[in-house]
Amino acid sequence: MNSGLLIVVSGPSGTGKGTVCAELLKKEDDLFLSVSTTSRGIRAGEIDGVTYNYTTADNFKKMIEDNLMLEWAVYSGNYYGTPKATVEKMMGEGKNVLLEIDVQGALQIKKSYPEAVLIFILPPSMQELRRRLVERGRETEEQIDERIFAAAFEFENAKRYDYVVVNDDLDKCVKAVESIICAEKYKTKRNIELIKKLVD
């Protein structure tokens, strides 16, 4: 059996990558979401094991030292990251694993695991990104300005991803990511054993 794929999806706030990932998980039977681990406290409305896996900062630091994290970062003094164990177990079972993480984490993964498939979700335009953030109404105008500024910086890093998909139409965007997942399985580098077997 072939190993599953590690699919990493990133994109700035407001691109709708969360909705894209949720749709993918509904449609793709052998795709599984990897839940991130964090050292920050659980908040109202969050579910342990669903929103995040919660642990202590000491535990998290120990996992980093023991090289047990696929990627990790610190935001506002809290650790966030992806433990290797769950991801590798699922992939070993032939399941495709979906990670919805930021650029920093994605590029960490690509370095240690070049076979990962990095997909960057782009908004149709900066104007549309701003419109979506305003409509969502979660941030102040100043915070939205900051997010737009951060997005422009993230787009620069999009060049280091394998694929970029514009989310101007949810269905089209989900279909595109599904095609990418399907196509990646046929990459020659993932099928060298198969060719060898045929020749022998």
* Phi, psi (degrees; rounded to nearest 5) at 36: -70, 155
Report the alpha-carbon distance of residue 29 to residue 7 in Å, rounded: 14
Strand blocks (E) in 1-95:
6-10, 31-33, 37-38, 53-54, 69-75, 78-83
Helix (H) or strand (E) holding 135: helix 126-136
For 99-130, the DSSP string reads EE--HHHHHHHHHH-TT-EEEEEE-S-HHHHH
User: Tokens 């039977």 sit at which residue?
Assistant: 29
- Are the C-beta atoms of residues 4 and 89 closer than 8 Å to each other? no
Residue count at the site for a second copy (CB under 8 A)?
A: 35
Phi, psi angle pair for 73, to nearest 5°: -155, 165
Q: Judged by CB under 8 A, which of 29, 47, 159, 171 binds a second copy?
A: 159
**Which parts of 49-108 interact with a second copy (CB under 8 A)?**
none
Shortest CB 16 distance to a second copy, Å = 15
Cβ-based nearer residue to a second copy, 85 or 183: 183
179 binds a second copy (CB under 8 A): yes
Which of 58, 65, 66, 156 forms a contact with a second copy (CB under 8 A)? 156
CB of 186 to a second copy, least distance (A): 4
Nearer to a second copy, 98 or 119 (CB): 119
Q: x/- site string to a second copy, residues 125 to 144, per CB under 8 A?
A: xx------------------
Q: Which of 32, 52, 72, 161 binds a second copy (CB under 8 A)?
A: 161
Among 31, 158, 167, 174, binds a second copy (CB under 8 A): 158
The DSSP symbol for 149 reads H
Return the number of the residue (90 or 165) whose C-beta is nearest a second copy.
165
Closer to a second copy by CB, 40 or 190: give it: 190
For the CB of residue 139, give the shortest distance to a second copy in the complex, in Å. 20
* 163 forms part of the interface with a second copy (CB under 8 A): yes
**Contact call for residue 182 and a second copy (CB under 8 A):** yes
Q: Is 36:53 a contact under the CB 8 Å cutoff?
A: yes
Which of 34, 120, 147, 167 forms a contact with a second copy (CB under 8 A)?
120
Measured from the Cβ of residue 86, the count of other Cβ atoms closer than 10 Å reads 16
